[in-house]
Structure 1
Amino acid sequence: MGTSLLIARLFGIPVRLHWTFLLLAFWLVSTHYSFGGTINWVDMGWTLASVTALFLCVLLHEMGHALTARRYGVNTQKILLLPIGGLAMLDQLPDKPRQEMWVAAAGPLANLALAFVLLPVILLMPGNNLETILGYWLYPKGNYFIHDASRVGYLLVGLVALNVLVALFNLIPAFPMDGGRIFRALLATHWSRLQATTIAVRTGQAIAIVLVALSIPSFNWLMALAAAFIFFSAAFELKMIREDHLLKTHTVGDAARRSFGKIYTTHTVAEAEEMFRYGAKDEYLLVFDEWQNFAGMLDSTSLPATAEKEKDRWSTLVGNTALLHPPCLITEDNLHQAAQMLSGTDFEFLPVSDRNGSVVAVFNSEILNRYIQKVRKGKLP
């Protein structure tokens, strides 16, 4: 289960509940617990219904993102619900700025659509619900509760108000919120994704600082928490975009290691064992035939089994063993393509060929990470 619990699967997308919802349950019980040791179950039931309705609205918001992303060929790993909101974890961002803008806008639009659907229902209910709604907006700390309305009426009015508030709050151009992503998408129509993200992140962090300054005099710790989330999430995403830019602008030939263990099909298993024992840097040897053509890869862990089957290790040729045949990278491939190939194969070690098809280097995740660290530190020649 990890740190979250699977509660549903909607349109093939897992919906998970974060463990911090236990804190919400504790709050729910404590607020309805009296000093006499009793619990007002009716009030707690209505509070639970309100909280559940609120998070169904949050789920609708995240489903808006996920389903719009699916329309553009982007899958969603899961939707995670937290006490402070929700998170649709997409596999990647849409490539085109216009697509990213619609994916970001889909969440707030889903909330506004729900508000407009509920509004006629409220107006058709008995009582002066229009006055209730206006009172909620004009005097949120008082007028909302002075009207003689049913609990259902209060719940529906609250949902309309909260959906509009959630939509408007998310449309603040503070990256990585939805408004910030829309802002970044608009910038990306004129600048590169990296430049657009940098501008959007700095704008979002400036807004976060303003929100912190506004929260201090009023002791609004929820606003301060939201501002901190915006500030640090924006910094993290900028780091990820910079790394993605690095991967797409550097090639496998830049990072691949040119030195590797090499053996020929005409060598014996015993000679291969000696190379693994004394000379090989890796757990694999690249095998070539007598014409320098790449024949496959030899795994050190498979040699003992091979040797046990053969009475004479000195007469068994490497070319007659079960060689591995991993996919081959090309020096012109970018590092993003290489990372995708590594994640999509069971092989940890890949050969690299030049444009003529000759294997000239090797590549794995350790080589990739070491190269990224060198680029970050400016240690490349």
Structure 2
Amino acid sequence: MRMSFRIARIAGIDLNLHVTFLLMLPLGALIWGNGSLFGALFGVLMMILLFSSVLLHELGHALTARALGIPVREIQLLPIGGVAVLGRPVQRPGHELLITIMGPIVNLLIVFGLLIVAIFSGLATRMTAESMVNMVGTPSFDGMVLWLIQANLLLAIFNMIPAFPLDGGRVLRSVMAMLMDYRRATRIAGAIGQGIAILLAVVGVMSVNFLLIAVAVFIFLGARQEVVATDVIGVLDDLSIADALNREPVSLQIGQRVSDAAAMIEATRQQALVVLQGERVLGIVLRTDIQAAIATGRGEMWITMIMRREIVRVPFGETLEVARATMAEHSTPVLAAYEGEEFRGLLTIDDIATAYAVRDRGTPPQGPSTTPRTTPSA
């Protein structure tokens, strides 16, 4: 069951909302309701406006990335915030810095716009320390403007804490990466972030603030995850597609059936096969596609009925990190490696994981085990 669903597509970017976000709406109604329907509806509106601010923040990241030529897969909205999912890692520290700071800058621009609204509406003349406290908790236009000013200021300031996975951690890493190796910069930024997380946890325990403790755990784990992910990318950057490529994938001709594919692929550990017309590759079939067809009684169906005709290519000479990023960008678990127009083999996400595990143990990768191409008669 998918835990998120698409609610819109903005500038070609899918906007996906996690189902748990819906819990925020009754929370807003509870905070501002005070027993009145108007207050409850106002609270729901405030939650929607808050997450509109989060969406604009993430669009700041996403559209900047797109302008720099980096594909954006989607924007995810969660109760704890938003995430702009890029199609591939940002390679240049300067680009990462620009992409990262645009999120908080958008929040500051929202604050600036709301301050203009406050001035022209006369709200600014009514603002005192005491009245601001009262207005923020009151379902009114003034309360809405003031609360959104505070919320966007907090979003900008909180996100600039120099700790992964917050924007501040990425800003710190990108600045240090201009002066040192990227992986080393990530480890240092990660250690700083975990140190901040520990301090927040101590303060949270001493003040019995469970929200602060939860934030500390979120930052600590996020920092660790970023370091691990960067180390994985570093390893994959040192490996070529040739280190993991299945050069002799199981193959069938277009006149064969799903049952033929099932018999062939079950005798191997391979996760994908190619469908040929003579020597030309027409499509790819995954092991899971074959198993699903057999399970639903479609064994006598022609193999071309279940094959994937859109073949995502990757140059044979590229690194495994480029291959992994290509898989993520196209949402596919398998690539066809080509050298010019010559088909060299198949590469699956399992092949990449195996090559990484072997290199991580310190053993030079030998490539996946293969089974000679055989083409039984139909």
TM-score with structure 2 length normalisation?
0.71
Among 40, 50, 55, which residue is 2:51 paired with?
55
Whether the 8 Å contact between 2:33 and 2:39 is mirrored in structure 1 is: no
Residues in 2 aligned to 1:224 and 1:156: alpha-carbon distance in whole angstroms: 30
Aligned to 1:96: 92
Residues in 2 aligned to 1:28 and 1:281: alpha-carbon distance in whole angstroms: 52
How far the C-alpha of 1:151 sits from its partner, in A, is: 1.8
Residues in 2 aligned to 1:329 and 1:52: alpha-carbon distance in whole angstroms: 42
Residues in 1 aligned to 2:337 and 2:135: alpha-carbon distance in whole angstroms: 74
How far the C-alpha of 1:241 sits from its partner, in A, is: 1.5
Q: Report the 3-state secondary structure (helix = DSSP H, G, I; strand = E; otherwise coil) of the residue aligned with 1:250.
A: coil
Among 321, 333, 337, which residue is 1:336 paired with?
321
Among 145, 161, 164, which residue is 2:134 paired with?
145
How far the C-alpha of 1:368 sits from its partner, in A, is: 2.8
Aligned to 2:374: none
Aligned to 1:3: 3
Whether the 8 Å contact between 1:260 and 1:280 is mirrored in structure 2 is: no
Whether the 8 Å contact between 1:256 and 1:352 is mirrored in structure 2 is: no
Instruction: Mark the runs of 5 or more structure 1 residues left unpaired by the alignment.
Output: 137-141, 263-272, 288-293, 307-323
How far the C-alpha of 1:330 sits from its partner, in A, is: 7.6
One-letter amino acid of the structure 2 residue matched with residue 100 of structure 1: E
Write the deviation string for residues 238-287 of structure 1: whole angstroms up to 9, x where unpaired.
2221111111112234445688899xxxxxxxxxx9xx79x988686999
Whether the 8 Å contact between 1:260 and 1:281 is mirrored in structure 2 is: no
Write the deviation string for residues 6-43 of structure 1: whole angstroms up to 9, x where unpaired.
22222222222211123223434555777xxxx41121
Alignment of 1:89-168 (within 5 A): 89-126=85-122, 129=125, 131-132=127-128, 135=129, 144-145=133-134, 151-168=140-157
Q: Structure 1 residues 351 and 78, CA, compared in 2 at 3 Å: closer, same or farther? A: closer
Alignment of 1:249-260 (within 5 A): 249-256=238-245
Residues in 2 aligned to 1:345 and 1:79: alpha-carbon distance in whole angstroms: 15
Alignment of 1:29-44 (within 5 A): 29-31=29-31, 39-44=35-40
Residues in 1 aligned to 2:25 and 2:358: alpha-carbon distance in whole angstroms: 47
Aligned to 2:233: 244
Q: Structure 1 residues 102 and 127, CA, compared in 2 at 3 Å: closer, same or farther? A: closer
How far the C-alpha of 1:192 sits from its partner, in A, is: 2.1
Q: Report the 3-state secondary structure (helix = DSSP H, G, I; strand = E; otherwise coil) of the residue aligned with 1:55.
A: helix
| Residues 1:79 and 2:75 are matched in the alignment | yes
The answer to which structure, 1 or 2, has the higher relative contact order (CA under 8 A, 6+ apart) is 2
Q: Structure 1 residues 2 and 284, CA, compared in 2 at 3 Å: closer, same or farther? A: closer
One-letter amino acid of the structure 1 residue matched with residue 320 of structure 2: L
Whether the 8 Å contact between 1:127 and 1:149 is mirrored in structure 2 is: no
Residues in 2 aligned to 1:285 and 1:9: alpha-carbon distance in whole angstroms: 34
> Which structure has the larger Rg?
1
Whether the 8 Å contact between 2:42 and 2:139 is mirrored in structure 1 is: no
Residues in 1 aligned to 2:139 and 2:313: alpha-carbon distance in whole angstroms: 68
How far the C-alpha of 1:362 sits from its partner, in A, is: 7.3
Whether the 8 Å contact between 1:6 and 1:16 is mirrored in structure 2 is: yes
